[in-house]
Structure 1
Amino acid sequence: MSLTVRKIEACLETIGSEAFAPVYVDLVATLDVDQIMVFSVEGDRARCLLSYHFSNAALAGKLAAAYLDGWYLRDPLLPALQSAKPNSVQLRCFEEIASAMDQEYRRMFFDAPGLLAKTTVLAVGESLRLFVSFYSSARSAGSSDPDLSRLAGQLALMHFELVEDTGIPAPLTVLSDREQAVCLGILSGRKTEAIAADLGVASSSVVTYRKRAYGKLGITSRAGLFAICSR
């Protein structure tokens, strides 16, 4: 059994659980990309479900927050995602959309962060419409294995549709229970000491859980947390 097959099986075994994110990111690493973004677009709102840069977590969080701040409306693939039929998966490469991309959008999400190539899977299920995008700083990467890219898009759709009805903001479903609790406390406006009292742990433990959560989410601040959890 190949290493890639084992990674796919690990994803299937953890779909719907907090263990999914790390094994999924491990699978995506085989695509030889620098960054993965998963966004859900429903009507006139977008949500970030996963943002991860393999060498610069802060960059992933920054780009995700910017995308949610109205830039997603200028995504040249948005019409295709909105019109896609349920239970469908489409693969789009950077070359197909480059000409339809306005200069400001390209500067923000490609030129400035040094990302040159992109493969996006438009994954549409019964309740979610997802952009699952793989970015690379090299044009030769990111689209080398279209079949694996499609599969990665399908796995993301399966996972996030399964956890959609938990009542927890989708981005937080990749965290441990304690990390989720800390982030939910932050989102509700509670201070570190109050969150610590709620969980029955020391304030220093809350800080540790927060750092771990931010690292997994690809963010560096409270503002980033609010941005990726915005609805």
Structure 2
Amino acid sequence: MRPHGTALNPAPADVTPAVLAIGRADFPNILIDTLRRQAGVGHCMVFALTRAGATSCLLNAGNIPTGGDLGAAYAGQFHESDPNRDALFEDEGRAPIVLPAFAPRMYGARYRKIFFNNSGIVDKCATAIWVEDTCFYVNFYRIAAQGRFGDVERARLHAIAPAIGASVARHFQHSPLDQNLAALFATRAPLADLTNREQQVCRRILLGFSSEAISQALGISLHSTLTYRKRAYERLGISSQNELFAIVLRLLAGPRSLN
């Protein structure tokens, strides 16, 4: 493990891999790999907050085993007590937003216990960007095994935050992939043979949404999401996301039906 505070590779920051992965199913993995390489980020979570008050966890990737539970808890309740919330909405419409440096005293005791003490998180940086009525709130974490962000890492995050925020927002908006998927699921077998809810779940799987994010986006339980996924995979005769993606690639590359 690199000692805390030592310099990273001095090469210029490069977020090209994450930008090129926009709209692809592997975007979450490419994003966290890019963040890890460029600034030593251990985990990344992305939340969508709207003016109407809705909050959802869109992305959960990295080295925190309980990240899915934390995302669901934040979206369900704890977003209201996030000390960064005022900064997010005060700067509404401006881009990008760089939030204050992490300090445990900023958070209430219950928030600290669940999101930091129990999870092993020891440091956090964050940025955000508004697109129309949605704020994409991007959080970067380090756990105890990594130690806190060093000065070089913080400077690197500050430099790449605008590009990362814009990439995240673009990915989770209506991307070309999402438009293609809508057409495939509406017209092309075997995807068109799935029920409406199975299609909704599978489309979000292909866009890189976590199971928790799918549940929140569709307003259903995590158990229901997993059940719809299982049923869809059984109908398609597959057992993994990779096989689902292979079906989509085959349909995109193959000739279109004349029917």
TM-score calculated relative to the size of structure 1: 0.69
Change (3 A) 1:101 1:151: same
Distance (whole Å) between structure 1 residues aligned to residue 30 and residue 43 of structure 2: 15
Distance in 2 of aligned mates of 1:196 and 1:17: 20
Instruction: Report the alpha carbon displacement of residue 118 of structure 1 after superposing the two structures with TM.
Output: 0.7
CA deviation map 1:127-175 (0-9, x unaligned):
4201100011222346242112333222212222244976857964216
1:122-141 alignment runs, 5 A limit = 122-137=128-143, 138-141=147-150
| Partner AA of 2:109 in structure 1 | Q
Q: Helix, strand or coil for the counterpart of 2:161? A: helix
Asked if the contact 2:55–2:76 (Cα under 8 Å) also holds between the matched residues in 1, the reply is no
Specify which structure has the bigger relative contact order, considering alpha-carbon pairs within 8 angstroms and separated by 6 or more residues: 1
Alignment of 1:36-75 (within 5 A): 36-42=44-50, 43-54=52-63, 56=64, 58-75=65-82
**Structure 1 pair 139–171 and aligned structure 2 pair: CA distance change class (3 A):** farther
Match of 1:104?
110
Give the superposed CA RMSD.
3.4
Residue 10 of structure 1 and its aligned partner are, at CA, apart by 2.5
> How do 1:89-100 and structure 2 match up within 5 A?
89-95=96-102, 98-100=104-106
Structure 2: runs of 5+ lacking an equivalent: 1-10, 183-199, 246-259
Q: What's the counterpart of residue 222 of structure 1?
A: none
> Which has the greater radius of gyration?
2
Equivalent of 1:195, from 222, 232, 252?
Answer: 232
Q: Identify the residue that residue 149 of structure 1 maps to in structure 2.
A: 161
Q: TM-score, normalised by structure 2?
A: 0.62
Distance of 2:235 and 2:24 partners within structure 1:
24
Q: Between Structure 1 and Structure 2, how many residues are aligned?
A: 193
Matches of 1:69 and 1:28, distance apart in 2: 26
**In structure 2, C-alpha distance between the alignment counterparts of 1:51 and 1:10, rounded to whole Å:** 18
**Equivalent-residue separation in structure 2 for 1:14 and 1:106 (angstroms):** 34
Contact 2:45-2:59 within 8 A present in 1 as well: yes
Matched-pair identity in %: 19
Indicate if the aligned counterparts of 1:118 and 1:143 stay in contact, CA closer than 8 A: no
Query: In the TM superposition, what whole-angstrom CA distance separates every residue of 1:91-140 from its partner, at most 9, and x where no partner exists?
Result: 12434x64432111112111221211110102112242011000112223
Could you report, residue by residue, the CA deviation over 1:44-81 in whole angstroms, capped at 9, with x for unpaired residues?
A: 22111101123x4x321121122122111111111221
Q: What amino acid sits opposite 2:55 in the alignment?
A: A
Query: What CA distance in whole angstroms lies between the structure 2 residues aligned with 1:89 and 1:59?
Result: 28
Instruction: Structure 1: state its 5+ residue gaps.
Output: 214-231
Cα 1:48/1:10, change in 2 over 3 Å: same
